[in-house]
Structure 1
Amino acid sequence: MGVWLNKDAYIRDLKRVILCFLLVYMAILVGTDQDFYSLLGVSKTASSREIRQAFKKLALKLHPDKNPNNPNAHSDFLKINKAYEVLKDEDLRKKYDKYGEKGLADNQGGGQYESWNYYRYDFGIYDDDPEIITLDRSEFDAAVNSGELWFVNFYSSGCSHCHDLAPTWRDFAREVDGLLRIGAVNCGDDRMLCRMKGVSSYPSLFIFRSGMAAVKYHGDRSKESLVNFAMQYVRSTVTELWTGNFVNSIQTAFAAGIGWLITFCSKGGDCLTSQTRLRLSGMLDGLVNVGWMDCATQDNLCKSLDITTSTTAYFPPGATLNNKEKSSILFLNSLDAKEIYLEIMHNLPDFELLSANTLEDRLAHHRWLLFFYFGKNEFSNDPELKKLKTLLKNEHIQVGKFDCSSAPDICSNLYVFQPCLAVFKGQGTKEFEIHHGKKILYDILAFAKESVNSHVTTLGPQNFPTSDKEPWLVDFFAPWCPPCRALLPELRKASKHLYGQLKFGTLDCTVHEGLCNMDLMNPSVVSLTPTTFDELVRQRKPDEVWMVDFYSPWCHPCQVLMPEWKRMARTLTGLINVGSIDCQQYHSLCAQENVRRYPEIRFFPQKSNKAYQYHSYNGWNRDAYSLRIWGLGFLPQASIDLTPQTFNEKVLQGKSHWVVDFYAPWCGPCQNFAPEFELLARMVKEKVKAGKVDCQAYAQTCQKAGIRAYPTVKFYPYEGTRRNIWGEQIDSRDAKEITTLIYEKLENLQNHGKRNKVRNLEFTLTNII
C-alpha cells in the first residue's frame, strides 16, 4: 500500500536520491584523486590535437631528463604519460570516461616513455601549424568525404625523411591555404588508419576528394613540385573577357547569383599574375567567377567601364558596371591571393534569414541546414562557412539562419537554447538533427551530407517514443563526451542499413536531463543498498519474487550484462522485481551474501517456511532473452493443464475465451516457449483463460485439433455456440505479440456482435411496421 508524502518531504527525499546518485556516479567515473583530464590540464571535450599539445607542454617541463634532482620526477612523469596514453586512444578514452581507472584494468600502458629530445623535436610535429589539420581515425573519413580537396601527409615521428619534409610541408601549406585542405596523419598513433589506407612507407602523400580514388604523389618533395601537383586537382577556370563575350558572360553569371572578380591589365599599374588568377579561381570555385581583360586590345570596352589603369575589382550580382560611384563594386588594392580571397569572402552575402511566419512552411518543402543564433550571429565570424551553399548544392540542401531572439517560443519548442546548427529533412520541424561536432567547414559539410540522407532524429519530450508499436534505438548521450560524438556517424550509417525495420534517435542528456533520468526515477532495475536489500528482498512479501545482479563496475562481463539486465527487467515489469547491487560500494553486504564472483545472478522465490533460499544462474548466455526465460521458469503456473475431458467441457463448450498451447514434453522449442506462455497467461488473464495440452499424453485430442508441429498456439473465442475444435492458429511465440493479436480479434468480435444486434433490431422494426 502506497504512503503519501507531503511536498517538503518529497523534495527532501528526492534531493537525497539525486545526491546519492551523483556521488556514486562520480566515484565510478573518476576512481582516483586526480583524473586524467585534470592531470593534463584539459577539459573533457578536448580534441586529440588539444590533448597532444597539452601533453607535449607538460612533457617538456616535467621530463626526468630535465629534472635530474627531483626524486619524484620519474613517478610524476609516468602519471601524465599514462593519462596521455589513455586519452589519445578512442577506445580506452571511452572506457575511462564511463568507468574511470577501474575500466582500464586490462590495459596497463603508460609505463614507458621517450627521451626529452623526442618530445621536443619528434612529437606532434604539425600540432602548432594552423594551416595543417592533424586527422585521427575518428574524423578522417568525414573530412576527406566532405567534398573539399585534401592533400594528406602520412608520416611517422621516427622517420628521418618525414622530418626532412616537415619544413617544406609547412611552407607548402601556407602557400595553398584556402585553395585546398592540408592534412597530416601520425601513423605512429594511428597505425590502424594507415594500414586501412594502404600506407606502407613514410612519408606517403595522397590527394583525396569525395567521389574519386585517392591519388599518391611520387614526385620531387620541393614546394614548387607539390604546388604543381596539387593544382592539377584544383578546379580553376580563368576567363579572358573581351567585347565578344563580356556582356553574355556577366549576365549569365549574375542571373545565377554569381559575381565576377576581374583584373584589368593596362600599361599603368599592376594587375594580377596568371598564377594568382588561377589560385583565386580555385579558392572561389562556385562562389565567384574570375576573369581578366587586356585593356591594350580592349581599349574601348575598358573606357566604357571607366577603367584607365590596371586595377582589380569584384562585381557582385546586379552591380552597375559602368557607374563606380553608385554601384556596389569592390575595388581591391592588394595583389596577394589570400588577402583578396578574404576580402571578397567577407563581402559575399550572408545566409538567407528565415522568418518565424514562414519557417514551418519553408522547412516542410525543402531540406535545410539552418544556423540558430541569439541576436548576434557568431557563425558570421568565419567567412569560410559561406562556401556551404555552393558545396551543398548537389545535395539539394539550402542553407539559412534563424534568429531565436526574434521568436523565442519556436526555438524553445525545438529545445534550442544556445547557438547551434541543425539539418531539417524536408518534413517541417518534425524531422531534424542537431550538429554536435566542430564548427569548421569540413566537419559541418560531412555532417550535413550524412544527416540529410540518414534516418536519425534529434529527440525531445515532444517526439520521444512512448509506444511499443514501433521499435526504436535511442542514443542517450552528452555532447561533451568524445566517444559519444564518435558514435553519431556510425548511428547514421546503421539507420540507412536498417531503414524500415528500426527507428533511430538521439537524446542530449545535458538538455533533457529529465528524460535521461526516467530510468532513475521510474527504474526497471532497482539499485539496492544494504538497507533496501534487507527490506525488499530478505523481508519481501510472501507473493513477491526478486532477481538480483551482484556486480562490480570494473568487471567487464558486468559491463556487458548491464544493458541486457535492464532490457530484461523492462519485459518483466509487474511479474518479477529486478535489482542490482554494486559490490565495490557495498563490499560487506556481498561478502555476507557469500558472493565470490561477478556477475552473480540470483533468483529469490516466493517466501516459504524453508530457510533463506535463492537460485543462482549458471547458464552460459547472459542475454535478456535467456535470463528472462530462466526467471519466468520459477513462477507458479498461471495456465491450466487440460485433459481431453476438461478441454471439451471448458474450451469447446464453456463460455470463456481460451488460448491453448499444444506441446510435447520432449520438444526443446516447447520447453523454451513454456515460460513465454506463462507470461502470456498472466497478461491476458482478465479477458482470456490459458490452457496447455500435453500431446504425448493426449495424442488423440491433438490429432483432432489438427496439431502437426510443437508448440502450436490456438485461440478459441466464445461466440455463443460450441466452438470448432480446430480453433484459430496463432503463428507467434512472443507473449506481447500474441496478446495484441488476441485483443484485436476480441475487438473485431465485439464490433461484429454490435452490428448483428443492430441488423436484428432493424429487421424486427421492419416486421412490426
Structure 2
Amino acid sequence: MYFRIILMFLLALSQSLGEDYYKLLGLEKNADQKEIRQAFKKLAVTHHPDKNNDDPEAHDKFIKYTTAYEVLKDPELRKKYDLYGEEGLNDANKRHNYHSYSYYQNNFGIYDDDPQVVTLNTNDYDDNVINSEKIWIINFYSPMCSHCRHLAPIWRRVAKDLEGVVRIGAVNCEDDWNLCRRLGIQSYPTLLYYPKNSHHGVRYTQEKSYDTIVDFIFERLDVNIEQISKSKWNQLINGNLIDNKSILIFTCGKNRQCFTADERLKIAAIFENIIDTGIIDCDKINCGEILSSTTGAVFLSSEENDLWTPVIFNDIDDVEILVHEILQQLPEPQELTANDFKEIEERLGLEDSNDNGWLLCFYIGHATELDLQLKRLPSIIHDVNLGKLNCAKYSNLCGDLNINRYPMWGVLKSGGAFELSHGKSTINDVAKFAENAIKAENVWALSGDKILSILKRQRGNEVWFIDWYAPWCPPCIQFLPELRKASLEFDKSIIHFGTIDCTIHSSICRQYNIKSYPTAMLINGTVTSQFTMQKTASNVVEFINEAMNPTVFRLNADNYYQTLGRKKSKILWAVDYFAPWCGPCQQLTPHWTAVAKIMKILPNIKIASVDCQSDVNLCRSQGVNSYPNIRLYPMGSEGLNKAVIYEGARDSTSLMTWIGQYLPVKVKELNGETLGKKVLNSKKEIWLIDYYAPWCGHCQTLEPHFIIGAQLLEGIVRFGRLNCDNFRSECVNAGVRGYPTLILYLPKGKNGNSKRKDLHISATTAEQIKNEVFNVVNVNNKYRDEL
C-alpha cells in the first residue's frame, strides 16, 4: 500500500512538472553542455520537419525538442527547470522556433571534431590559457552566425598550418555564454590573442582572412633566432656546443634555400624549448667546405658520438619535411623497463624527492609515429620527464596498471600517485592531460587492494574523496579534471582523492552497489557522505569543507528529539528535510550551506538538515512526504510545537530573507514623513538607512544581510529602509545616486544645534555592516559615550 501511494505521488508530481526534458533528449540529469548539444543534434538531423514532410506532427515534435534544448543549454533556465519543472519557466523563455535542417547537419558545434582546434569552456579556459607559456589565439563564435561559418574553414587551416607554433582555440558562445559574457564578447566571431604568460587577451581587429591572421600571429611570435657570428660558427662546427644543447642553423646567402623569415619563425616556434635556432649569412661569413651551395639548414646535435658530424639539409624548401627530418635527428624518447618504472615510482614516493613527474606512453608494436609525437611534446609542456614502455615486453606491469588499449598515456606524479588518460591521443589532448594531472599530485588511480582497504576502514585516520567512474561515460570524463582542480585546494595530510575505474574493478563496484557514474563520496572513518551536488571543482571543495567542518547541523534519529525536540523559546531552527536522490534537493544543498555560513554569526539561529533516506521513520513521524521540505521553528515557541513551511524560491537570498522575517529585531520601513521625524531630526539615535528600489537585484541580495546586521547591532543602531521608487525626492536629497545605498546618520547632539552627520557605508554583508558601523561609532567617541 505504501509503495502504491508513493508511485501515485510520483506520477502526479511528474504530471505537474510537465514534459521531462532530459528524457525527451535521451539524457541523464547530470549531462554536460557538450552531451546536451550532441544529443539534440542527433535528434535534429533525424526528426527535422524538412526531412519528415509526411508526418503532420513533425513540427510540433520538433518544437518540443527545440524547447528542451533551449532550456537545458542555458544554466539559469536549467536550474529553474530542475527546481520547479516546466511551471518554473516563463513563457518568454521558451523559444518556439528552429533552424533549417542544413544548420543542424553542418554548423552545429563547428569545431567539436577538429583535432588541431582546442575546444575550450568555462571549466578549463583559465587553466589552459591564462599565464600559459604558449601563445594562444581563440575564436569566440556562435553556430548561428554566418560570419562564423565563413571563418570556419580559414580557422581550421590556420590551426593545421600553425600546429605546434601557437595554440588555436575555440569557444562556442551559444553553449558557454557565461564565459563569453565574462570576457566581454559582444559580437561573433571575436578573436582574442594571448601572448605568453598573459592574463588578458588582446582583441584582434584586422581582416579575418587566412593571410592577415597568420601575418598577425607571426608579427607577434616571441621566439629567438640567434644571429651566428664567425667566431661562434667556428666554435659550433668544431663540436663545441653552448650548454651542450642541439642547435639548428639556417644557412642563408645567394642561391641557398634557407626559408622565408616567417617559415624560420615557424620552425623555431615548433622546436622552442627543444633545440636552439640560429641564422648565419654565408655571403658575409665563410660557412666552410662542409656546406654545399644548396644547403638551407644544418643541425648540430648534442649527442656524444665518436665521430661528430653535422646533419646537412640540402634542397629542402618545405617546412613540414624539414620539421620531420629534424624530429628524426632528436634523441629517442627514453625506453623504460618494468624495473625502471618501479624505481621511478619509488623515487617519486619519497618525501624529499625533487624529481618532476613523468608522462609515459604505453604501446605495443612499432612506436615510430609515437616517438615523433613524444619528441614534440616538450615544446608544449615543460619540466616533465617523458618515457615510453612496451607492453608487449612487460605485459604483467601493464596489466597491473590496467592498460587496456594502445597507445595509452599515463602520469607518475611526485608523491608516487599514478593516473591514466581516458581522452584523445592528439598532442594537444595529451599535453592538456599531462599538465593538469601532474599538478594534481594528490589524485590517485586506486588499485583493487587499496580500494578495499579504504572501504573496509583499514587505513587509520585517512580521509578519502572517492570518484567511481567508467571511461565510456562522458560526464565521468568531464568530472575528472574538476576533481584534479579541487584536489589542489587541500593538503595531503587532510584528505586524499581517489578514482575507481568500474570497468576494471567491476566486482568491487557491484559489491558496493555503485549503479550510476560518476558516483562520488567522502569517506571519513566510519562516516560516508554522498556527494550529490553538480560535479564542479568549486562544489567539491564546498562539499568537503562542509562535511569536515559542518555549518549545517546534522539531525538524525539519535539527536533529533534531544536537540530540536527540546528547543528553547529564544532559539530559531530552520531545517531542510531532504533525500539524496532528489534532484531539487541536490540543487538546494549549496544554497542551504550558504545560508548556514551567513547565519552562523547569530548564535540563536540554527540551520539544520535531516536525511530522510537514512531516517525514513523520523521524517514520516513529522509528516514529511515530499522533498525538499523546509521548515522553520520560530522564536517564542518551544520544541516542535510550531513549524512554518517554506514554499518560496530555493536560492540563498530568498531563503535568508524568509528567515529574516522571524528574527526579533525588525527593520523599520520608512516613508518621507518618518524619515524626517525619526531619522534626520533625531538627537540621540543612530540610524542606518538602506535606500533601495524593489526591482534592483543587488538590493534584494543585500536585504537579508541588512536584517542580520540589525540583530548584530541591536541597542546600538536602528535600521530602516526607504523605497526610492515611492519617495524619489527624499532619495535625491539624501544624495542617493545608485541602489542600494547605505547611509549612517549620527545624532545632532544634545542641544540640537549641530548639523547631523551622515556617512556612506560600503558594506555588502552582515559582518561588514557590523564592522564598518562599529569603526564609525568607536572613532566618534562622544556618540559611543552617549550610548
Q: Which TM-score tier does this pair reach, normalised by the shorter chain?
A: 0.5 to 0.7
> Which structure 2 residues correspond to residues 217-366 of structure 1 after superposition, within 5 A?
217-221=203-207, 222-249=209-236, 258-265=245-252, 267-268=254-255, 270-299=257-286, 301-303=287-289, 305-318=290-303, 329=311, 331=313, 333-345=315-327, 347-363=329-345, 364=347, 365=353, 366=355
Residue 208 (str. 1) matches residue 194 (str. 2) = yes
- Residues 104, 328 of structure 1: CA spacing in aligned structure 2 closer, same or farther, 3 A cutoff? farther
**Deviations, residues 421-462 of structure 1 (Å, cap 9, x unaligned):** 3332334x4x33333444333444344334334342312234
- Equivalent pair of 1:369/1:400 in contact (CA under 8 Å): yes
- Equivalent pair of 1:272/1:335 in contact (CA under 8 Å): yes
Query: Residue 311 of structure 2 aligns to which amino acid in structure 1?
Result: I
SS in 2 for 1:357: helix
SS in 2 for 1:520: coil
> Which structure 2 residues correspond to residues 744-755 of structure 1 after superposition, within 5 A?
none
**Deviations, residues 51-85 of structure 1 (Å, cap 9, x unaligned):** 75785576356422454343242255356546765
Partner Cα distance (2:243, 2:124) in 1: 34
Query: Residue 280 of structure 1 aligns to which amino acid in structure 2?
Result: I
SS in 1 for 2:217: helix
Partner Cα distance (1:332, 1:444) in 2: 34
SS in 2 for 1:556: helix
> Which structure 2 residues correspond to residues 25-104 of structure 1 after superposition, within 5 A?
56=41, 59=44, 62-78=47-63, 81=66
TM superposition shift of 1:185:
1.6
Residue 481 of structure 1 aligns with which residue?
A: 473
Query: Residue 338 of structure 2 aligns to which amino acid in structure 1?
Result: A
**Deviations, residues 217-245 of structure 1 (Å, cap 9, x unaligned):** 35422444433332244232223445321
TM superposition shift of 1:308:
3.8
- Equivalent pair of 2:360/2:411 in contact (CA under 8 Å): no
Quick one: which of 499, 512, 515 aligns to 2:505? 512
**Deviations, residues 114-171 of structure 1 (Å, cap 9, x unaligned):** 2206546764344575543332223323332553321012233455654565565455
Partner Cα distance (2:37, 2:306) in 1: 52
- Residues 519, 445 of structure 1: CA spacing in aligned structure 2 closer, same or farther, 3 A cutoff? same
Partner Cα distance (2:301, 2:137) in 1: 31
Aligned-residue RMSD, C-alpha = 5.5
Residue 375 of structure 1 aligns with which residue?
A: 364
Residue 597 (str. 1) matches residue 626 (str. 2) = yes
- Equivalent pair of 2:33/2:175 in contact (CA under 8 Å): no
Residue 178 (str. 1) matches residue 164 (str. 2) = yes
- Equivalent pair of 1:262/1:293 in contact (CA under 8 Å): yes
- Equivalent pair of 2:115/2:426 in contact (CA under 8 Å): no
Residue 144 of structure 1 aligns with which residue?
A: 129
TM superposition shift of 1:600:
9.0
Range moving further from structure 2, 327-336 or 174-183: 327-336
Residue 398 of structure 1 aligns with which residue?
A: 385
TM-score (norm 1): 0.56
Residue 153 of structure 1 aligns with which residue?
A: 139
SS in 2 for 1:422: strand
Partner Cα distance (1:347, 1:84) in 2: 52
Partner Cα distance (1:130, 1:119) in 2: 21
Range moving further from structure 2, 111-120 or 452-461: 111-120
Query: Residue 474 of structure 1 aligns to which amino acid in structure 2?
Result: I
Residue 676 of structure 1 aligns with which residue?
A: none
Partner Cα distance (2:239, 2:23) in 1: 56
- Residues 50, 493 of structure 1: CA spacing in aligned structure 2 closer, same or farther, 3 A cutoff? closer
TM superposition shift of 1:183:
1.6
Partner Cα distance (1:218, 1:515) in 2: 53
In structure 2, stretches of 5+ residues that fail to align are 1-13, 15-19, 348-352, 515-525, 529-556, 561-576, 593-610, 631-639, 647-787
Partner Cα distance (1:496, 1:215) in 2: 26
Partner Cα distance (2:80, 2:397) in 1: 38
Residue 672 of structure 1 aligns with which residue?
A: none
Query: Residue 133 of structure 1 aligns to which amino acid in structure 2?
Result: V
- Equivalent pair of 1:367/1:398 in contact (CA under 8 Å): yes
- Residues 312, 463 of structure 1: CA spacing in aligned structure 2 closer, same or farther, 3 A cutoff? same
SS in 1 for 2:499: strand
Residue 665 of structure 2 aligns with which residue?
A: none
SS in 1 for 2:184: coil
Residue 192 (str. 1) matches residue 195 (str. 2) = no
- Equivalent pair of 2:140/2:185 in contact (CA under 8 Å): yes
- Residues 290, 559 of structure 1: CA spacing in aligned structure 2 closer, same or farther, 3 A cutoff? closer
- Equivalent pair of 2:465/2:495 in contact (CA under 8 Å): yes
Quick one: which of 117, 124, 127 aligns to 1:132? 117
Partner Cα distance (1:54, 1:561) in 2: 28
**Deviations, residues 689-734 of structure 1 (Å, cap 9, x unaligned):** xxxxxxxxxxxxxxxxxxxxxxxxxxxxxxxxxxxxxxxxxxxxxx
Quick one: which of 553, 556, 577 aligns to 2:584? 556
Identity rate, percent: 30
- Equivalent pair of 1:94/1:483 in contact (CA under 8 Å): no
> Which structure 2 residues correspond to residues 349-748 of structure 1 after superposition, within 5 A?
349-363=331-345, 364=347, 365=353, 366-376=355-365, 380-381=369-370, 383-393=372-382, 396-419=383-406, 420-427=408-415, 429=416, 431-458=417-444, 459-464=446-451, 465=454, 466=457, 467-499=459-491, 502-510=494-502, 511-520=504-513, 556-557=584-585, 596-598=625-627
Aligned length: 536
Partner Cα distance (1:94, 1:423) in 2: 37
SS in 2 for 1:463: helix
- Residues 275, 233 of structure 1: CA spacing in aligned structure 2 closer, same or farther, 3 A cutoff? closer
- Equivalent pair of 1:102/1:554 in contact (CA under 8 Å): no
- Equivalent pair of 2:410/2:418 in contact (CA under 8 Å): yes
- Equivalent pair of 1:208/1:214 in contact (CA under 8 Å): yes
- Equivalent pair of 2:247/2:275 in contact (CA under 8 Å): yes
Partner Cα distance (2:114, 2:174) in 1: 19
- Equivalent pair of 1:143/1:442 in contact (CA under 8 Å): no
**Deviations, residues 628-652 of structure 1 (Å, cap 9, x unaligned):** xxxxxxxxxxxxxxxxxxxxxxxxx
SS in 1 for 2:320: helix
TM superposition shift of 1:353:
1.6
Query: Residue 281 of structure 1 aligns to which amino acid in structure 2?
Result: A
Residue 115 of structure 1 aligns with which residue?
A: 99
Structure whose CA Rg is larger: 1
**Deviations, residues 475-502 of structure 1 (Å, cap 9, x unaligned):** 2233333333333333334333331562
In structure 1, stretches of 5+ residues that fail to align are 1-27, 29-33, 526-543, 565-576, 584-589, 602-614, 622-769
- Residues 432, 38 of structure 1: CA spacing in aligned structure 2 closer, same or farther, 3 A cutoff? farther
Partner Cα distance (1:279, 1:43) in 2: 45
TM-score (norm 2): 0.55
Partner Cα distance (2:476, 2:253) in 1: 59
TM superposition shift of 1:286:
1.8
SS in 2 for 1:281: helix
- Equivalent pair of 1:204/1:216 in contact (CA under 8 Å): no
TM superposition shift of 1:194:
0.9
- Residues 253, 212 of structure 1: CA spacing in aligned structure 2 closer, same or farther, 3 A cutoff? farther
- Equivalent pair of 2:295/2:313 in contact (CA under 8 Å): no
TM superposition shift of 1:261:
3.1
- Equivalent pair of 1:156/1:187 in contact (CA under 8 Å): yes
SS in 2 for 1:358: helix
Range moving further from structure 2, 126-135 or 344-353: 126-135
Partner Cα distance (1:242, 1:495) in 2: 51
**Deviations, residues 560-614 of structure 1 (Å, cap 9, x unaligned):** 799x9xxxxxxxxxxxx9976999xxxxxx99x998434799xxxxxxxxxxxxx
Partner Cα distance (1:479, 1:357) in 2: 28
